[in-house]
Structure 1
Amino acid sequence: MKNNDIIYRESVLGALRSKAEQLFYTDADKRHPEGGDRTAQLLHELEIYELELQLQNEELRSSYAALEMERLKFVSLFNTAPVGYLILDNRGTISEINETGLQLIYNQGAGIKGKPLKSFIVDDSQHAYASFVERISETDERLQCEVRLKTKKTETRYVQLNGIKAPGTNTDQQSFYITITDVTHAKRNEQELWETTERLNQTLKVSLTGTWMVKSKGEKIFLDEYSKNILDIQNRAQLVPWKALLDILVEEDRPKLNALFSNCDESHEIDLELRLIKRNGHLKTILVKGKSVNPIYGSSYYAGIMTDITDRKRNLQLREETEDIQRRLLRRAAIEAQEKERDNLSAALHNSVCQILYGIRFNLSQLAKQESFKSHLDGINSLLDQAIREVRTISVELTPSILKDFGFVAGIKDMTDRLGRAGFKVTTSIDQRADQLPEETQLYLFRIVQELLNNSIKHSGTNSASVSLCAKNGEVDLIVSDAGRGLSSQLNDAFKKGSGLRGIKNRVSLLNGTMTIEDADGITFKIHLPKGV
């Protein structure tokens, strides 16, 4: 059977002959030769053949011009294309290559054609290239691979080869059409991205940090493996229903998570501390950080990290407790030093100054027996009695021996009696169970009452105050108030200026208590000491 090409050629030649005959018979001088004139018939055929050849020649010139035009277009496109083009013969030798391919393969134009492509490929990519050539020779499909090429410099270039098998000029040979694309920049970016990701993964792993993401108005949250480990979630799926997280959070922290998902469209940063209940019943504290991301395409979403800060919180709490203990020890040492100094001063006044005053009064009493000195010594004796009373009062205030000997209730009563004799009235309501408190607690409470009453005497502008103390179930409530002027400055300024108020605050802190101040219609100090002080 004739193939399509032969049939096409015969149809074209037949058309050209018909056209030649038409041209020949249109000439008025041409006539059909007589059937018996053999010479005329031959001339007739030769003339038709001549016209046919002229037409074929014109057709060939026209086809050649069109082909040349197409060839020039192809050559221009072939050489200026941003992608390298190569044609390899069946042995892998470069038979054709464009300018871009020349630059990609060896950065030079001389000596490329006629050389095998594999000679420009680095050793560690030879196996991949050989496999690529073998595969495209066995299939009609387009295949690709990545290899590294040698360059003039020490560095190598990553390229992507795309190839397909094509028949050669001879039926028993085949060639390969290859495109070569420089992917060095992409590979370096990929390598940098991989290294950055690996460093990030190692950092997240060491720091017990995971990543998360949730779409706006989404019902599920993306959690990586680190996040699921932190949350103690066994679900292998990366997308976890966010409502499942509510079940593992403590009830007080669930509104925080609800607020996070309900306000996903807002552009603000997230900084939350959430407590969750582990399967063993222990509490874990996690820190959730993130921000709203608004991509060019698609809806906004939240993305961030979460970190297990349980140990950090515990260590911080221990450090704060240690620092608090140290501060309390310092304050206790300072107060004990004050009390010791008070004892020393009280002893000095009682054992030294008072004894001297008693001796002076005794000697003066001996002189008073003489009538000539009696009138002069009466006034001196009165002053001495007053001095002795003042020294004894100072001594008692410095070290209230009655507090040590008879307890808190008696100490407060003695204090209020002495203030009453001086013209300052104190109304008291003291729970008898206060005497059962530890001695240190009684002393601190006594000093607090003493300082507050002294402040009332000095600054309130009134001559009365009230003291109430209740000791019940191991807890103590102390209230000291007056109806005077109150504080003349802000509370913080008062604590900065007044050493007495600072001393009260320190003592309350040492007893683990709390103090509130009401500065209206006078001033009221309310002090609460918890059980166990």
Structure 2
Amino acid sequence: MNTPHSQSAASVHAALQELRERAEKRKSLVTQSLSEGLPADVQRLVQDLQVHQLELEVQYEELLLAQAELETMRAQYVDLYDFAPVGYFSLDPLGVITQLNLKGSQQLSSVRQRLIGRRFTWFVDPEYRAAFQQFLVRVQASEQRQTLELILRREDGTVFYALLEGLAVAREPEAQPTHCRVVVIDITRQHEAKKALEASEARFRRLFEHSSDAVVLLQDNYYLDCNAAAMHLLAALDREEVVGHHITDFFPERQPDGTPSLQLINTVVKEAMRQGSAKMELLMQRITGEEVWVEAVITLFALQNKAPLLHVAWRDVTAARAARAELLRQKEFSESLLDNSVDGILAFDQELRITAWNRVQEAFSGRSEAQVLGQGVLELFPEYAGGEQEEGMRQVLQGRRMMRQDMPFHSSQGYFESYFVPLASPEGRISGALVHIRDVTERVRLAEEATALKLRQQQEVLAAILTTQEEERKRIAEALHNGVGQLLYAAKLNLENRSGTTQNRAAALSLIDEGIKATRSISHELTPGILEDFGLKIALEELTKRIPKQQLHVHLHLDGLEQPRPRLYDVAAYRIVQELLTNIIKHAQAHEAYLYVVHEDGNLHITAEDDGIGFTQLAADTGKQAKGIGLAGIRNRLDLLGGTIFVDSRPGKGSIITIEIRVK
């Protein structure tokens, strides 16, 4: 882009070049000799004219040079005046605009032709017009530059903040100043920044004064200022008791750990200088001599050509420090309880992450506390995921207490019980759960031994009772056989030898035969001698043979009874079968029954199945519970022997009774 200055320089250069060319041509004329035939006066006149022409041409060249310089100066004036970044105005003594540059017209949002001849006052905000008039008076009365900040209104009504710099000038040298030149600088941004800074300073001052934390300002280790909270913390009644004092005036010479207070403060200040801010806890002394623990936050403010300014906020942490010490003591006590507990203890939070793990649990699991803290329970024990165990833990986190025997939280051998207790905050919110893992292997062993001992005692009692019963029955049987039976037999012989009618004698003999048969039957029922003589298999076969088929058709299946067993089990099995058949005959109203007695794998199995009316119908007829119908004696025997019984009764479709006895 060609500027007026560059265009003017180019035209001057062209004019000079043309002048030189013409001067070169004229030079030859001056040096040419005139014709000798001309008069001397003419020749002299021609030479004078040629010299004069050259002089005129030189003068013309000088004029062109002067014009070029003026054009250059004018271009510079245009650059410096019209295209200046600030507004230039020329005002007469009444403040009328006589001249202005392009920037000035842009500032007032109008063209120069509309602005020239108008009073500058019309563009001044009414609030500042009086100050502007005083500014004009000062400018005309002083040779020094005058300044004024005010608000100018553009022609479109918008406003901006401006800085005016004015100087009085004269139209002619040595004359009195007749008008003034005013520079208008738009300082809207600076003014807004200044206002923002002032607002920031005001906010800082309010925060400083009304902060609940004690705040002090330090420079070169001396207090420059402090707020009311700082005075309260230091027990000062006046700012003068704090401001101007050295930083160490309110701290003991040494901290409780022996570190010099000034050394500790300087260390933290250096850290603040590196990072911009630093924090520490230290012991300080009030003016009254009372000691208090504070948390100090130091913030560094760098100042140009000055020592850094330190903003220090103090917060009284004496109570918090005591609470932390108490919490630490309680934590140590809790950890001591956990570590000295005889049970394994662990805790987990709402996300099932491990939060506690004592030494006993370390021994149980083989995992240290450092390995498991923060880990998920289901990650450490994946076998609990997705099953009843995980559901149980979720229920504990909802407030339920429970005890489980299938969650030992390790793979050690033995028996363990896990007690789950929800952990609730004082507000009642459940934050996690505590688990006690107790090794009950020894207790289970002792219980098993006690159960076995009790069972042996019961078996011994049963054996004694059964032995006594059998002995008593044997004695009664022998008495019946040897006493009643022999007497009846003797009566029979006596009757046979006596005379009498044949009919009477036959009747008597028949009665006596029946008595003998009944006596033998009673004797057999009281003590089955066949059981002792031939064993359980033959005794059971003989027992079923004696049941008339029209009364009950019994199908007997025996297996493995040839194996030797203690006599107690044979007697018990015989009596149980005898009781089952009696119950079927008396109560079941059955026509057919199947009886299975099998001895295999150390167990004696007895099963009786009939096609009778079933227990439910019988219970309804008799008003008794099904479990009490003819089975009391069997259950008593089984309780003493440690056996089990299962009854499957279906109304109208008979019953199935299954008995199992472990032979020892």
TM-score tier (shorter): 0.5 to 0.7
Matched, 1:127 2:259: yes
Matched, 1:519 2:519: no
1:100: which partner in 2? 229
1:335: which partner in 2? 462
- The 8 Å contact of residues 298 and 312 in structure 2, kept in 1 or not, is answered as yes
Residues 361 and 105 of structure 1: CA distance in aligned 2, closer, same or farther (over 3 Å) = farther
1:57: which partner in 2? none
Shift of 1:323: 4.4
Superposition pairs of residues 49-64 of structure 1, within 5 angstroms? none
Matched, 1:504 2:638: no
Matched, 1:178 2:316: no
Q: Secondary structure at the match of 2:581?
A: helix
Determine the C-alpha separation between the residues in 1 that align with 2:636 and 2:260. 79
Shift of 1:146: 1.2
Determine the C-alpha separation between the residues in 2 that align with 1:322 and 1:156. 67
Determine the C-alpha separation between the residues in 2 that align with 1:151 and 1:382. 129
Q: Deviations over 1:395-416 (max 9, x none)?
A: 4334333212221012213322
Q: Deviations over 1:255-281 (max 9, x none)?
A: x424489999x9644887357886xx9
1:210: which partner in 2? 346
Q: Deviations over 1:127-154 (max 9, x none)?
A: 374443232565635332213567999x
User: C-alpha root-mean-square deviation of aligned residues, in Å?
Assistant: 5.7
- The 8 Å contact of residues 210 and 225 in structure 1, kept in 2 or not, is answered as yes
Superposition pairs of residues 46-445 of structure 1, within 5 angstroms? 77-87=207-217, 96-105=225-234, 109=237, 113=241, 117-118=249-250, 124=256, 127=259, 129-136=261-268, 140=273, 141-148=276-283, 158-163=293-298, 177-184=311-318, 186-187=320-321, 190-191=324-325, 193-195=327-329, 197-205=331-339, 206=341, 207-211=343-347, 230-232=364-366, 254=383, 256-259=384-387, 268-269=395-396, 273-274=406-407, 287=418, 311-312=439-440, 314-315=441-442, 317-352=444-479, 355-358=482-485, 361=488, 368=495, 386=514, 389-390=517-518, 392-420=520-548, 423-431=551-559, 433-434=561-562, 436-445=564-573
Determine the C-alpha separation between the residues in 2 that align with 1:88 and 1:31. 52
Determine the C-alpha separation between the residues in 2 that align with 1:198 and 1:121. 32
- The 8 Å contact of residues 557 and 595 in structure 2, kept in 1 or not, is answered as yes
Q: Secondary structure at the match of 1:340?
A: helix
Shift of 1:82: 0.8
Shift of 1:357: 2.8
- The 8 Å contact of residues 286 and 306 in structure 1, kept in 2 or not, is answered as no
1:15: which partner in 2? none
Q: Secondary structure at the match of 1:436?
A: coil
Residues 392 and 102 of structure 1: CA distance in aligned 2, closer, same or farther (over 3 Å) = farther
1:23: which partner in 2? 137
Determine the C-alpha separation between the residues in 1 that align with 2:519 and 2:208. 117
1:54: which partner in 2? none
Shift of 1:473: 5.3
Residues 126 and 421 of structure 1: CA distance in aligned 2, closer, same or farther (over 3 Å) = same
Q: Deviations over 1:270-301 (max 9, x none)?
A: 887357886xx9689685969999xxxxxxxx
Q: Secondary structure at the match of 2:241?
A: coil
Residues 377 and 204 of structure 1: CA distance in aligned 2, closer, same or farther (over 3 Å) = farther
What is the identity percentage for the equivalent residue pairs of Structure 1 and Structure 2? 17
Residues 451 and 190 of structure 1: CA distance in aligned 2, closer, same or farther (over 3 Å) = farther
Q: Deviations over 1:424-465 (max 9, x none)?
A: 543322236445333232222112212211211221123553
Determine the C-alpha separation between the residues in 2 that align with 1:284 and 1:261. 17
Determine the C-alpha separation between the residues in 2 that align with 1:323 and 1:121. 73
Residues 98 and 420 of structure 1: CA distance in aligned 2, closer, same or farther (over 3 Å) = same
1:51: which partner in 2? none
Q: Which runs of 5+ in 2 are unaligned?
A: 1-131, 142-167, 178-196, 425-430
2:606: which partner in 1? 478
Q: Secondary structure at the match of 1:357?
A: helix
Q: Deviations over 1:358-398 (max 9, x none)?
A: 47547856875666899989878766665565455444334
- The 8 Å contact of residues 281 and 293 in structure 2, kept in 1 or not, is answered as yes
Matched, 1:452 2:580: yes
Determine the C-alpha separation between the residues in 1 that align with 2:508 and 2:239. 132
Determine which structure has more spread, i.e. the larger CA radius of gyration.
2
Q: Secondary structure at the match of 2:314?
A: strand
Residues 377 and 184 of structure 1: CA distance in aligned 2, closer, same or farther (over 3 Å) = farther
Q: Which runs of 5+ in 1 are unaligned?
A: 1-17, 45-66, 294-301
Residue identity in the other structure for 2:344: L
- The 8 Å contact of residues 481 and 523 in structure 1, kept in 2 or not, is answered as yes
Determine the C-alpha separation between the residues in 1 that align with 2:198 and 2:453. 97
Where relative contact order (Cα < 8 A, 6+ residues apart) is larger, the structure is 1
TM-score w.r.t. length of structure 2: 0.52
Shift of 1:22: 4.3
- The 8 Å contact of residues 159 and 184 in structure 1, kept in 2 or not, is answered as yes
Q: Deviations over 1:36-64 (max 9, x none)?
A: 9xxxx9xx9xxxxxxxxxxxxxxxxxxxx
Determine the C-alpha separation between the residues in 1 that align with 2:645 and 2:408. 31
- The 8 Å contact of residues 407 and 435 in structure 1, kept in 2 or not, is answered as no
Pairs aligned (count): 454
Residues 510 and 109 of structure 1: CA distance in aligned 2, closer, same or farther (over 3 Å) = farther
Residues 388 and 97 of structure 1: CA distance in aligned 2, closer, same or farther (over 3 Å) = farther
Residues 478 and 262 of structure 1: CA distance in aligned 2, closer, same or farther (over 3 Å) = closer
Matched, 1:467 2:601: no
Q: Secondary structure at the match of 1:419?
A: coil
Determine the C-alpha separation between the residues in 2 that align with 1:68 and 1:178. 22
- The 8 Å contact of residues 455 and 642 in structure 2, kept in 1 or not, is answered as no
Determine the C-alpha separation between the residues in 1 that align with 2:349 and 2:206. 51
- The 8 Å contact of residues 361 and 381 in structure 1, kept in 2 or not, is answered as no
Residue identity in the other structure for 2:463: E
- The 8 Å contact of residues 161 and 178 in structure 1, kept in 2 or not, is answered as yes
Q: Deviations over 1:75-127 (max 9, x none)?
A: 654443111123568677x7754332344445x74899258654579962673
Determine the C-alpha separation between the residues in 1 that align with 2:593 and 2:286. 98
